[in-house]
Structure 1
Amino acid sequence: MAAVSNISCYCFASLTGLKELREQLIAFCKERSLKGTILLSTEGINFFIAGGEAQIRELVELLRTIPGLEGINPKWSPSDDQPFSRMLVRIKKEIIAFGVEGIEPANYTSPRIEARELKQWLDEGRPVILYDTRNDYEVRLGTFKNAIPAGVDHFRQFPDAVARLPDELKDAPIVTFCTGGIRCEKAAPFMESVGFKNVYQLEGGILKYFEEVGGDHYEGECFVFDRRVGVDPGLRETSTDVCFACQAPLDENEQADPRFVQGVSCPHCYKPDEVRQAEQIVKRQAALARVCSPLPGSEPYDNVCPVRIPTGCDELTLLDALCRMFSHVEREFWVGLFAEGKLLKADGKPASPEVIVRSGEKYLRLLPGTIEAPVATEIRVLHEDESIVVLHKPAPLPMHPSGRYHRHTLQWLVNAAWSPEKPRAVHRLDANTTGLVLFGRSRRRAGLLQEGFKNGSIEKVYLARVKGHPEQDEFECNAPISRDSSRMGTRTVDEDDGHEARTLFKVISRDSDGTSLLEARPLTGRTNQIRIHLWQLGFPILGDQAYLSEGELGETQ
């Protein structure tokens, strides 16, 4: 004997006092260890409940005391296990979502046909159209022979499905059916409202048909909305499972398919990695387009730039520290910012120029009404998987917030497009450099990738169009690069105190216009390294506004 009794039922009736009724039903069901779902609406009730038979009968008797629900007659079926995990009572606008005004089953429904009468019609071969109003994933598990499926993924799509039916069916006898009959309470009257003249609804749906006449004229199982997934014409639970990802019912063969991964995919929704990645890239590209149009810094906003005190400025006054950190900026500039209240402590309060600072402390520079200069936005997503993202960065586009750019940076735009996730760039490209940028999708992954760049296991290769024709096909530059930048943000060669830097070059072509195409491989990662080394060698990059011919420096980056 089955340990659990299952009932399902709906009733269209004008209900009031829904909040009080909800509290009453929750308490009543929990006291009796009943589980399932009850939907309440001003248009009626719809419920699926499981538990002990005696307790279920008590609930039915309680519901019959509610005005309008006196005649409810639930469908009963057994199961070995409790198919529900908890007890829910919810208040909804509709007990079956349809969204069409004027369809009110409490006031009017189409003519009903009983299960035995329908079976007789089918036995006699009467000309009748069987119209399955259920969703496609339900129909896939089983339906009446020769039935026409609505072809919908949600009941709200039903009006569009009816509009696709040929006009000649408007005079034909049509029997609508669904799992338990509730959808047909709205589907059949709707069909009548749009001109179908001979519409019936199967009383009690497929489950009542199974209960009264068995499986004659029916093929397969019936999808049910609980853990049982499917029942056979004897109303017994079948071995059918359901895909968590797409809700498709799965028979034993489909469950044995290698494309079925519990909670991930099944033969109906499985997509190869390359297809999923391509679809994801399309979505990311659209997100980037939304973030970049308009550019987020094109309207005035109050920008706040952090200033971190380095070790070399420990125990100086804040004013002296700023002058040392930004040696190319006049002292009067900082004095003016203090006077205007635009230099702040970490808590946002104005900072004093005479405060003694400690290394590691953070201060803030306020830039009210900031409008950032335009940047290139043709960012392309080339690859994305669970670990990394590879982007094509256009130029000009800074990598990270710095100087006059905060929002108009690759990292800020990526954070906005991937939100709430924050992929981390694991290497740098100059603002004026076009190329690939690798991001780690977690702190740990980014750290591992950064180590790969540091130890040389990940190589960086650049192509550079330069002025002039180098004599050697392969050459290198080891010129040290200055530790500090100039007023324009540029660095130069510093033989005495510069950072070690090394770049390998290879000529790909020497062209008739006086330029050459070079391959550049930086073995260290200094700011502007390739540009500086080519400038030092007398082959500046074509179009570079900072590192010019004849060893000259430009006025802009």
Structure 2
Amino acid sequence: MSDVVNIAAYRFASLCDLKPLRERLLTFSKEQALKGTILLSPEGINLFVAGERTAVDSLVALLRAIPGLEDLAPKYSESEGQPFRRMLVRIKKEIIAFGVPGIDPARRTSPKLPAKELKQWLDEGRPVTLLDTRNDYEVKLGTFTNAVTLGLDHFRNFPKAVDSLPPDWKERPIVMFCTGGIRCEKAGPYMEQAGFQQIYQLDGGILKYFEEVGGDHYQGECFVFDQRVGVDPALSETDNTQCFECLTPLTAEDQADPRYVPGTSCPYCFLTTEEQMTRRIAERQAAIVAIAVHPPGSVPYENVRPFNIPLDQDGRTLLEALTATFDHVPTENWAAVFAEGRFVDAGGQPVHPDRIVRAGDRYEQRMPATVEPPVSLDIRILHEDEAIVVVDKPAPLPVHPCGRFHRHTLQNVLNDVYAPQKVRPVHRLDANTTGVLVLARSRHFASRIQPQFEDGRVEKRYLARVEGHPSQDRFACDAPISAEAGEFGGRTVDEGGLPARTEFEVLERFADGTSLVSVRPLTGRTNQIRIHLWHLGHSIVGEQSYLPGRRLGEVQTRGIDDAPLCLHASEIAFVHPLTRELVTFRAASPAWAVQ
């Protein structure tokens, strides 16, 4: 004889004073060492509870004393152990989620067909359609022979599934069924409202059918919502279990599958490494799209920018330290900041530009009601794993906070998407340049990748559309590039600058006087490709800084509505920090490169 008695019961009735009733039932159940779940709502009660027979009987007596529950009729089964971990009593809007207003089983349901009568119909071969109203994962363990299933993943989808049934079914006799009958109490009236003329519901569901007539005309077992997972027609627990991850019931054969890892995966939810990455990337992309709807820098905020006094500015005035450190910012700009009291010390007090500063002192520039220029947030994730993230960066979009951009940056957006982790770009792309960018997911992995860039071991390829037709199909530029920013904040060719080399190959010469070139930078100087092409007399189409005729423009970051800078990081190859193997990532060519 089993030690534990299980009951499943529901009753549609108008219930009130649910909070005190909840406390009463929870206290009673714990005193009686009962475990399971009781759902209460204004429309009735639904419960699965297990414990010793005397405790279960006491609970049933208590429930039947509640007005409206006098006829509560539990279905009993037995198990060798307690199938529930704890006792829960919850208040819900519905005791079975359906979401269709106007369905009130306490007032009216479809005609109920007793189990013995259904068996007789099936024994006689009477023409009848059996309709399983349960979810797919429940149907997997078993159902009536030739029953129609609806492919449901949630009972809320039942109305939509009914709407797609053939019109001639509205005149057929249909017997619907579920585990214990509760879903049919709502499904039946809905089908009748939809015009189905001969609807019956199996009284007490599959469990009552097993109890009264056994397993005739039924194949398999019945899924139950407790640790037993499934019961056979004798209402005995089977050897099936349930996947912790996707909740699919698993047969003995499923459990023998190597993809079944208890608590992690099963044959129905197991994903390969590549499939897992695809799913994660899809989730990240959805988060990026959500951020792009309300860009973080489009709402006014106070932008606070810290400034730590460099060692070489020790003993100078604050204004001198600022103009020396930010030599591209006119002195009169700083004068306005001080006049408005927006430069403050560590205590938040405005400071005078003539204050003598010491190395390491910290100050802040406060910029109230900051609204950043719009940028493109069409960021596409190409790859991610435990160590790196690779994206196809749009333009205009700065990678790091700089100038007018603090929140409208690639790094800020990705830090939101990958929070609490902070990703780190391991190389640079201009705000106006599109294409492949690599980020590390920790300082440790960044330290394994960045030296490859510094040592020139990373293979990078770019596409550029340039003004004019180069005279040679292959050519190179070795012009040195200035180490410091010059006029308008840009760098230029400087005979005393840093060595740099870029190799070019013409891919196509267009009739409009422009050319498409493949670019291979062998060094990584700031703006190197743009400067070398400008120096050679082939400025990039769309340039606003390095203009034809070796002129310099004043614009560093383009506007969202400006024509694109036709420079695209198309390919990058480096040694992966985990696998130690060479990996290559590519970004699709932009429209200007394929015209």
Into which bin does the TM-score normalised by the smaller protein fall? 0.7 to 0.9
Amino acid at match of 1:150: L
Alignment-derived partner of residue 390 in structure 2? 390
1:253 pairs with 2:253? yes
Aligned partners of 1:382 and 1:391 also within 8 Å = yes
> Is 1:30 matched up with 2:30?
yes
Partner of 1:135: 135
Quickly say closer, same or farther: Cα 1:472–1:114, change in 2 above 3 A: closer
Q: Could you tell me how far apart the structure 2 residues matched to 1:450 and 1:227 are?
A: 51
Letter in 1 for 2:501: T
Scaled by the length of structure 1, the TM-score of the pair is 0.87
Range 293-302 or range 94-103, more displaced: 293-302
Which digits, 9 at most, give the CA deviation of each residue in 1:408-452, with x for residues without a partner? 322234345556654332221122323210123445444443344
Q: State the secondary structure of the residue aligned to 1:183.
A: helix
> What is the letter of the counterpart of residue 100 of structure 2?
V
How many angstroms apart in 2 are the aligned matches of 1:434 and 1:209?
65
Q: CA deviation at 1:3?
A: 3.9
Is 1:193 the equivalent of 2:193?
yes
Count of residue pairs brought into register by the alignment: 553
1:166 corresponds to: 166
Establish whether residue 520 from structure 1 lines up as the match of residue 531 from structure 2: no
* Structure 2 equivalent of residue 489 of structure 1: 489
Asked if the contact 1:481/1:529 (under 8 Å) is kept, the reply is no
Q: Does 1:104 align with 2:104?
A: yes
Deviation at 1:457, TM superposition (A): 4.8
Match of 1:230 in 2: 230
Residues 99 and 156 in structure 1, CA contact (< 8 A), matched pair in contact too: yes
Checking the alignment, whether the CA contact within 8 Å between 2:502 and 2:532 is kept in structure 1 is: no
Greater mean deviation of Cα atoms: 84-93 or 536-545: 536-545
Do the aligned residues in 1 keep the contact of 2:295 with 2:408 (CA within 8 Å)? yes
**Identity value in percent:** 56
Please, which of 478, 503, 517 is the counterpart of residue 501 of structure 2?
503
- The residue aligned with 1:449 is 449
Give the whole-Å Cα distance in 2 for the aligned partners of 1:216 and 1:285: 51
Question: Which residues of 2 match residues 459-498 of structure 1 at below 5 A?
Answer: 459-464=459-464, 469=470, 477=478, 479=480, 481-482=482-483, 484-492=484-492
Corresponding residue SS for 1:488: helix
Mapping 1:319-330, distance limit 5 Å: 319-330=319-330
2:435 paired residue number? 435
Distance 2:28 2:109 in 1: 32
Question: Any residues of structure 2 matched to 1:299-338 within 5 Å, and which?
Answer: 301-338=301-338
More divergent stretch after superposition (84-93 vs 152-161): 152-161
Deviation (angstroms), 1:194: 2.9
SS at match of 1:29: helix
After the TM superposition, which of the residue ranges 132-141 and 51-60 deviates more from structure 2? 51-60
Change (3 A) 1:474 1:198: closer
CA–CA distance in structure 1, aligned partners of residues 328 and 167 of structure 2: 82
Structure 1 residue runs without a partner (length 5+): none
Shift of 1:454: 3.9
Partners of 1:331 and 1:425 lie apart in 2 by 32
2 CA distance for matches of 1:296 and 1:253?
A: 51
**Structure 1 Cα separation of the partners of residues 455 and 170 of structure 2:** 75
Deviation at 1:141, TM superposition (A): 1.5
How far, CA to CA, are the matches of 2:421 and 2:199 in structure 1?
A: 52
Shift of 1:336: 2.2
Cα–Cα, structure 1 residues 349 and 243, in superposed 2: closer, same or farther, change >3 Å? farther
User: Mind listing any 5+ residue stretches in structure 2 that lack a counterpart?
Assistant: 557-595
Cα contact 2:481–2:491 (8 A) shared by 1: no
Normalised to the residue count of structure 2, the TM-score between the two structures is 0.82
Aligned partners of 2:176 and 2:200 also within 8 Å:
yes
Aligned to 1:44: 44
Determine the C-alpha separation between the residues in 2 that align with 1:176 and 1:381: 47
Q: Provide the C-alpha distance between the structure 1 equivalents of 2:396 and 2:161, rounded to a whole number of angstroms.
A: 51
Q: How many angstroms does 1:396 deviate by?
A: 3.4
| Alpha-carbon distance in structure 1 between the residues aligned to 2:172 and 2:219 | 23
CA contact 2:4–2:79 (8 Å) conserved in 1: yes
- Letter of the 2:69 counterpart: L
CA offset digits 1:371-395 (Å, max 9, x no partner): 4344445533322344432222234
Q: Secondary structure at the match of 2:211?
A: helix
